[in-house]
Amino acid sequence: MIKKYIFITGGVVSSLGKGITTASLASLLEARNLNVTVMKLDPYINIDPGTMSPTEHGEVFVTEDGAETDMDLGHYERFIRTKMSRNNNVTTGSIYSEVISKERRGDFLGATVQVIPHITNAIKNHIIKCGKNFLITLVEIGGTVGDIESLPFLEAIRQMAVDIGRQHVLYIHLTLVPYLLTSKELKTKPTQHSVKELLSIGIQPDILICRSHYVMNTYDQAKISLFCNVPEKAVISLNDVNSIYEIPKILNNQGLDDYICKYFNLSVPLANLNEWEKVISSLNNLKGTINIGIVGKYVVLPDAYKSIVEALKHGSLKNNIKVNIVFIDSQDLEKNGIDLLQKIDGILVPGGFGYRGVCGKLIAIKYAREKRIPFFGICLGMQLAIIEYFQNVLRIKHAHSTEFFPNCIYPIIALIDEWQNFPKKKIIKKQDCNLGGTMRLGNQKCYLTRNSLSYKIYHKDFIFERHRHRYEVNSHLLRKNNLLQLIIAGYSVENQLIEIIELKNHPWFIGCQFHPEFSSTPRDGHPLFSSFIKAAYKYQISSKIL
Ligand code: GLN
């Protein structure tokens, strides 16, 4: 069967939830037994978001195959079963870099290399490559229609309809229908203008999804339909909701999946939304409330920890316990002390880069260890848990990471090249070090130690989890010590790299070098997050009794 493509553009303003809407629609089509994947085209010049600050661009989502991608790919994986890969995210930077290398190699045989057709051809090739094994590929175009930078992407998706046939291509435009407080009404004009802008590029949207604070009435829907040349049935109202996981059902209730299946002439079963209904029912039946503190330095933008926040919510669903997430700026802990950790039932120290905020994180870890509060350290959080233990329990005051102190005399955390040759350190000059694409990335195999808490949680001899870091636990130095209560609960294949640590004399203290948050989904959760939430609940009950 000829492959189908659904292109999703955004209008009026950014931050309308285009990624989540795209992911929800994909889940709805998946629920109709269709083989779908989702792709994101990002208009920025960076080759990938790996080098971008999380406080500016949100989290970097890592795929199983080790690509550093836009955080929207995290939404896609949380909504559908198809796993994302490096094929599912391209940026203007990656497209230009590819075309320019080809030009340098002489692949264009003397032609003048231009945006049309060379850049647009490269974009189309990537879309086709991504959708190779799928019947339907949903393609989200980053940015807002009218931006200069997304023009080549819009031109490429316009051409796709000519290349493969208009009936195999569907354009969805997501717009804002604002509510005016003074006149107490929803306004459709910005949507009309946005569609006009799309038309000027040669794209007539087939479906409009209108984001609004309130549900739109049929009068507004009819008006948009008339002015934007879209059938009334294809004007979908998407109002603000309590949980993003309600969106597949909301779209289904308005017949969006039916409309799309009819458009593509697909005869498939009705959507089976049982699993999503279960998620919604758990959401509506959460009991109690536990406070989980995320101690980090990117807390000014909660999107910087998006997958962790979602994974905690999934853990909440699995335990039927409401989770209140408290963002704690680790630098505030340095200034104001541990008062900020009162009333916290579980402490999570997430991943991070650079020295800022490290002292505050060490304070939080020490507090969790001593007060027996459930502690979850992820990546940098695990590295710091080891540093804290070496400094305060094993009394090795100089233990630290070469990320923060390059000449540290007890580098318990260091670059692998540094500690493999320890004590003869290889000096890596900063200017020799490329920051893009120089990390241990993606799925890696980890063996679990029998009798460890992690083994009990996973019920497996080995697991695969995703990594994103440069530094490693220096296992040469680690093994020289009597580690007392510290145990190695997970290690890599060659037994060289430490993947999970635990404390024997603590109810729940786990640090992992990998990022379990990337593989947690609302339907399945993640064993470590579910167990952490359960432990925090137990801690809350026991601390109330005391
Ligand atoms: N900065 C640390 C490293 O590069 C940890 C990275 C992370 O937490 N993702 O190893």
328-374 per-position pLDDT tens digit: 999 999 998 888 899 999 999 999 999 999 999 999 999 999 999 99
Each residue of 109-137: b (16+ CB within 10 Å) or e? eeeeeeeeebbbebbbebbeebbeebbbb
- Catalytically active residues, by annotation: 379, 515, 517
Residue with CA at minimum distance from ligand 1 atom 3 = 469
Q: Is the pLDDT of residue 195 over 80?
A: yes
- 59 within ligand 1 shell (Cβ under 6 A): no
39-55 per-position pLDDT tens digit: 999 999 999 988 888 88
Helix (H, G, I), strand (E, B) or coil at 423: coil
241-297 per-position pLDDT tens digit: 989 999 999 999 999 999 999 999 999 999 999 999 999 999 999 999 999 999 999
Average pLDDT over residues 117-144: 97
The tokens of 252 are what? 């289904």
429 labeled part of a ligand binding site: no
Q: Ligand 1 centre and the CA of 53: distance in Å? A: 14
79-101 per-position pLDDT tens digit: 999 999 999 999 999 999 999 99
Q: Is the pLDDT of residue 463 over 60?
A: yes
149 labeled part of a ligand binding site: yes
Report which ligand 1 atom has the smallest distance to the Cα of 413: 10
Number of Cβ within 10 Å of residue 533's Cβ equals: 29
Q: Is the pLDDT of residue 435 over 60?
A: no
pLDDT of residue 221: 94
Q: Which of 376, 470, 499, 514 to mutate to test the pocket of ligand 1 (most atoms within 8 A of CB)?
A: 470
pLDDT of residue 108: 94
What domains appear along the chain, each with residue ranges and CATH number? 4-174+244-280 (3.40.50.300), 286-545 (3.40.50.880)
Q: Which of 330, 468, 513 to mutate to test the pocket of ligand 1 (most atoms within 8 A of CB)?
A: 468
19 labeled part of a ligand binding site: yes
Q: Is the pLDDT of residue 510 over 90?
A: yes
Residue with CA at minimum distance from ligand 1 atom 1 = 353
Report which ligand 1 atom has the smallest distance to the Cα of 379: 8
pLDDT of residue 431: 43
Give which of 27, 46, 137 is closest to 85, Cα–Cα: 137
pLDDT of residue 290: 96
Q: Is the pLDDT of residue 498 over 60?
A: yes
Q: Ligand 1 centre and the CA of 498: distance in Å? A: 14
Per-residue pLDDT band for 421 (boundaries 50, 70, 90) equals low
Q: Which of 417, 428, 469 to mutate to test the pocket of ligand 1 (most atoms within 8 A of CB)?
A: 469
Sorted by sequence, the CB contacts under 8 Å of residue 277 that are 6+ apart come out as 249
- 353 within ligand 1 shell (Cβ under 6 A): yes
Q: Helices (H) and strands (E) in the chain — how many of each?
A: 19, 23
49 labeled part of a ligand binding site: no
Q: What is the mean pLDDT of the chain?
A: 93
- 357 within ligand 1 shell (Cβ under 6 A): no
- 61 within ligand 1 shell (Cβ under 6 A): no
201-217 per-position pLDDT tens digit: 999 999 999 999 888 99
- 468 within ligand 1 shell (Cβ under 6 A): yes
Per-residue pLDDT band for 416 (boundaries 50, 70, 90) equals confident
Q: Ligand 1 centre and the CA of 27: distance in Å? A: 32
- Which runs of E-coded beta strand occur in 336-436? 346-349, 375-378, 399-401, 410-415
pLDDT of residue 398: 95
- 374 within ligand 1 shell (Cβ under 6 A): no
Query: CA–CA separation, 195 vs 269, rounded Å?
Result: 32
Q: Is the pLDDT of residue 484 over 50?
A: yes
pLDDT of residue 495: 64
Q: Ligand 1 centre and the CA of 90: distance in Å? A: 24
- The DSSP call for residue 321 is E
- 304 within ligand 1 shell (Cβ under 6 A): no
**Read out DSSP for 210-229?**
EEESSPPPHHHHHHHHHHHT
382-406 per-position pLDDT tens digit: 999 999 999 999 999 999 999 999 9
Nearest-Å Rg of the Cα atoms of the chain is: 25
Q: Are 131 and 4 in contact (CB under 8 A)?
A: no
Helix (H, G, I), strand (E, B) or coil at 471: strand
pLDDT of residue 453: 98
pLDDT of residue 50: 87
Average pLDDT over residues 436-442: 76
Query: CA–CA separation, 490 vs 447, rounded Å?
Result: 5
- The DSSP call for residue 235 is E
Sorted by sequence, the CB contacts under 8 Å of residue 51 that are 6+ apart come out as 435, 436
- 379 within ligand 1 shell (Cβ under 6 A): yes
**Read out DSSP for 258-271?**
HHHHHHTT---PPP
